[in-house]
Chains A and B, each alone.
Chain A
Amino acid sequence: MSKQFEAKKESISLINRTLSDKNTSRERELRDLREKYRILLDRTRALEKVYKFHKGIIQNISSGIITIDFTEKITFINSAALKALDYRYDELIDKSVRIIFADHQEAESILHQLMTHKNMFESKEVSLLSRTENIIPIGFSTTLLRADDPKYNGVIISFRDLTNLNTLRAQMERIDRLTTLGEVSAGIAHEIRNPLAGIKTSAQVLEESFSPNDPRTQLVRRIVKEIDRSNELLKKFFKFAKPGKPHQNSVDIESLIEGVFIILASKMKRKKIILKREYHHRLRYVYVDENQIEQVIFNLLLNAMDAIGEGGEIAVRIYDKTSVSNHTVQMIAVDIQDNGCGIDIDLLEKVFNPFYTTKTDGVGLGLSISSRLVEENGGQLNVTSKSGNGSVFTMILPAV
């Protein structure tokens, strides 16, 4: 009995030992598995972090990035590019890149260089076309894209929207051009005024020698009158060349505009002009020379009235124009819009040139002087227009 009991006890102990060994081995395996899982999870998380970081860079970068394969199909497009072109991702992905070029011939030439010859571009300027058919001037560079997955092989196109830069360039060019023309005009005016002074003085000496009833007195007076008329024009040349230092103060732009409306009221009434005001009462104080800016407003309104026929419409808007990139200076914009004949796009920049005019009785100094005056006051005068659809002159002035 005791022997049997001992034998059973021994076998039970063996079973227990075996089971215990097995359990220990399983626990070890499980621990290993858990460790491997943890390492894998850490690596995946690290990779995910890197992926998100890279994605963040690509999507938050201000440059537009587009990748295309060697069949010209768009394989990727980042947020900046979508925003600039006003498209959704699904509207462009897998589509031919040609659809975003404004000029098809130029697209053909660029893509031929990229696809056939693998010739890359550096800082090339071209125009793209947004979904809403706006022309967007861009500067772009290209790099060959060699991906692990050959279906993504192709070209990376990175670009920057040059609209603001081009506007700035045009403004700088205008300032340069007007300064040069101003200097030339002032030089010419000076040279003409000298002999005019001699002619005028001689004529007046002659006039004094005639009796008031002598018909020759009338002739001499006419000479003087014409000299004075020429001199008035020459004075405008000087005004254009050197508008005079502005005496800037806090000026209520709303009241200034309303004041000009009063002066022009009878003329506006005669032409049955409809006047629309969109003021922003919070934004009304600008830091300018009151007389100079009043002259500009007067000029712009007269031009607008000339551009429209009877019963035409003039809208004046005041709004905030503080640049997003420059929070330090708050700017206020004043739009003077007419629904008249508009200006041809090729002639837009020319309207600021001195002596450029479409009026039979104008000398073409109004807008050039206005542009100079606004610049002297630390502002800008811009124009947008579509032939047949009216024009908008925008005066951007520093706010108080």
Chain B
Amino acid sequence: MSTVKKLMIVDDEETLTFSLYQTFIMAKQDYEVITASSGEEAVARLAGDNFDLVITDISMPGMTGLELLAQIRQKYPRTAVIVMTAYGSEEKKEEALRIGAHHYIEKPFEIKDIKKLVMDILN
């Protein structure tokens, strides 16, 4: 029996969080998926729970994805983070990787790419 991996999807774009939720719920691997619509909500969810992976957008109202990433790096060093963004600049990518993101993916992405990425990180 494989261990259930716990992942959280953080984005204020509901359509994206919903479709990613469906993707990972329906996946062959055993994932427990939680969604959050803001950085603040993600921080609250992270407290007292062990997440293996957080997939977060950068640009959100209130706490940004990069601020969330910095908090995760500080408080939950074992949690991996994938940063996704609709920005097309190299600087954002460099910044995310410098703060400690495991990966950076540009929106819109291929569903198979993000699935592979998640699998690679969690295995």
Please report B residues at the A interface, Cβ cutoff 8 Å.
Answer: 13-16, 18-20, 22-23, 26, 57, 59, 84, 86-91, 107-112
B26 with A193: CB separation less than 8 A: no
CB closest chain-A residue, reference B114: A201
CB closest chain-B residue, reference A231: B108
A235 with B16: CB separation less than 8 A: no
B16 with A198: CB separation less than 8 A: yes
B88 with A201: CB separation less than 8 A: no
A198 with B59: CB separation less than 8 A: no
Chain A CB within 10 Å, residue with most, of B23, B57, B87, B107? B107
Enumerate chain B residues within 8 angstroms of A361, measured Cβ to Cβ.
none
Judge whether A244 is part of the interface by a CB distance below 8 angstroms: yes
A202 with B88: CB separation less than 8 A: no
Known: A195-B13, A208-B26. A227 touches B108 (CB 8 A): yes
Please report A residues at the B interface, Cβ cutoff 8 Å.
Answer: 186, 189-191, 193-202, 204-205, 208, 227-228, 231, 234-235, 237-239, 241-242, 244
Bound: A244/B59 CA distance, A:
21
Partner of B87, one of A190, A195, A199: A190
Known: A190-B59, A195-B15, A208-B26. A201 touches B111 (CB 8 A): yes
Enumerate chain B residues within 8 angstroms of A228, measured Cβ to Cβ.
108
B16 with A201: CB separation less than 8 A: yes
A204 with B111: CB separation less than 8 A: yes
Known: A193-B108, A194-B13, A197-B108. A235 touches B88 (CB 8 A): yes
CB closest chain-B residue, reference A190: B86
Enumerate chain B residues within 8 angstroms of A238, measured Cβ to Cβ.
87-89
Bound: A79/B5 CA distance, A:
85
5 closest Cβ pairs, A-B complex: A238-B88, A198-B15, A197-B107, A193-B86, A197-B108
Chain A CB within 10 Å, residue with most, of B18, B86, B110? B86
Given A189-B86, A199-B15, A201-B20; 6 other pairs, CB 8 A cutoff: A190-B86, A197-B13, A197-B84, A200-B109, A204-B111, A239-B88
Partner of B108, one of A186, A196, A241: A196
A197 with B16: CB separation less than 8 A: yes
Chain A CB within 10 Å, residue with most, of B16, B22, B112? B16
Chain B CB within 10 Å, residue with most, of A196, A200, A201? A201
A205 with B22: CB separation less than 8 A: yes
A205 with B16: CB separation less than 8 A: no
Chain B CB within 10 Å, residue with most, of A190, A237, A242? A190
A197 with B109: CB separation less than 8 A: yes
Bound: A316/B15 CA distance, A:
52
Partner of A189, one of B59, B88, B91: B88
Bound: A204/B115 CA distance, A:
12
20 A-B pairs with CB atoms under 8 Å apart are A186-B89, A189-B88, A190-B87, A193-B88, A193-B108, A194-B16, A197-B107, A198-B13, A199-B108, A200-B108, A201-B15, A201-B109, A201-B111, A202-B15, A204-B112, A205-B22, A205-B26, A234-B88, A238-B87, A242-B91
